[in-house]
Amino acid sequence: MEKLIELSVDSSIRVSNKVININKPEYVYIPILPSSKLLVKKGTNVKIGMPLINKGNDIITSPISGEITSIKKVITIKGEIDSIEIKNDFTEVTIKESKLKKNILNIKKEVLDKILDLFKVNLNNKKEIVLNCIDDEPYTLTESFYLFLEYANFLEVLDKLSDIYKVNVSIAVKASNNFSINELMNYLGMYSNIKLEIIPNLYLLGNNKLLLKHLGLEEINTEVIKASNFYHISNFIKKGRLKTDQLITISGNNIAKPSIIRVKIGTSLKEVFKNIKGLGNDSIFLGNGLMSGKEIDINNLVITNDLTSILVMKKETIEKAYKKEEKCLNCGACIDICPVGINPLLLKDKNYKEKNKCLKCGLCSYICPVYINFNYSDIEGDNND
């Protein structure tokens, strides 16, 4: 096992178990993916669930009802991109439910195959499903809250998938998430084919590959599904609707009441923070966590599926944690702790053959005794693999 560690955290930061619903934005902005086809034009009146963009098998639908007003550049956690601007008419009119929707008790395998394909999940020739409900980042509880809020629906759908595809099912939860564990223990007795895997509080076990290694499962035989993605899968199976909303953790040491918010996809953070009270002065906002996230401008960012959390941190805390870089001591701590065995010091070299293995987990910067920041912007990688 790699030298993963339990991160030190501020025990005074506690996320409320009451979800704040921010579901009536004035505008939403839906990013136009490269090489995709627009299915609407300016002036089109749309309903919730109406297809807007087609990219291969990916169909992106409207999270609100309203009018297409323009094509506008927006900033997302992954950078600047063109988007469809939709002005909300607040009628919440929805298109007719998808023909794929069936009573879950009678749903057929060929129908499930089509649904799962929409979410890039393939259970054919698999032996295991692992529902990954782990939040690695300190002060982030997004994945575990999807489970906490939806466990009854999740168990019903997982049970059906297990029955149809003849696979074993595991639900992976961090040991620190007592609320999810307690709820599941009350229900799992009714589902003999679903087991609970309580995972140690070690940073990066939420990474799919490292989680499978910890569980002793083979990648080729196992489908790992993040709770956030499974929320949309189960929602589509039971309601016939594609992605319209998502959960985001808003926490940190400079906000009075850290909370989980449920928000329409495409809402601007500026509009979100109109509804958030108790922000302290001199805040630094970090998107997607202390370890692998980055500083963001909440006045110029749009919420997409890639955004899982926002930390509101005191400026002095960040400055203390990330002191001025000093000369490398060649101590080897960064190499020793790297979960994929690369040399972080070589990541700035574009010719370094191992750079694409980088998970962008931040452990090398975290462990460095002279505060070297290894977060080079040109590194490719995906810490959700």
Q: Could you tell me which residues come within 8 angstroms of residue 177 by beta carbon, excluding any fewer than 6 positions away?
A: 133, 141, 144, 148
For every residue of 202-234, which 3-state class applies, written as one string?
A: CCCCCCHHHHHHHHCCCHHHEEEEEHHHHHHHH
What is the torsional sign of CA 168, 169, 172, 175? negative
Ranges of residues in the chain whose predicted pLDDT is under 70:
1-2, 96-103, 322, 376-385
Alpha carbons 135 and 180: distance in angstroms, whole number: 12
pLDDT at residue number 31: 95
DSSP per-residue letters across 269-284: HHHHTTS---BPSSEE
pLDDT at residue number 100: 46
Q: DSSP letter at 186?
A: H
Q: Could you tell me which residues come within 8 angstroms of residue 141 by beta carbon, excluding any fewer than 6 positions away?
A: 15, 135, 177, 249, 251, 260
pLDDT at residue number 241: 76
Q: What pTM value is reported for the model? A: 0.91
CA distances from 354 to 71, 106, 339, 378 (A): 39, 48, 13, 13
**Phi, psi of 85, deg, nearest 5:** -95, 125
Alpha carbons 291 and 279: distance in angstroms, whole number: 22
Look up residue 303 and give its two tokens.
């919420």
pLDDT at residue number 209: 93
Q: Could you tell me which residues come within 8 angstroms of residue 94 by beta carbon, excluding any fewer than 6 positions away?
A: 47, 48, 49, 65, 241
Q: What is the tens place of the pLDDT at every residue in 321-373?
A: 767 777 899 999 999 999 888 999 898 888 888 888 888 899 998 899 988 88
Beta bridge partners of 133: none
CA 297-300-306 angle, 5° bins: 80
> Count of alpha carbons within 13 Å of 149, Cβ hemisphere only?
21
CA distances from 5 to 200, 257, 338 (A): 10, 28, 11
Secondary structure of residue 289 in the 3-state scheme = coil
pLDDT at residue number 167: 97
What domains are defined for the chain? 19-96+242-317 (no CATH), 109-239 (3.40.50.11540), 322-385 (3.30.70)
pLDDT at residue number 17: 85
Q: What is the tens place of the pLDDT at every residue in 204-256?
A: 999 999 999 999 999 999 999 999 999 999 999 988 777 899 999 999 999 99
Q: DSSP letter at 351?
A: T
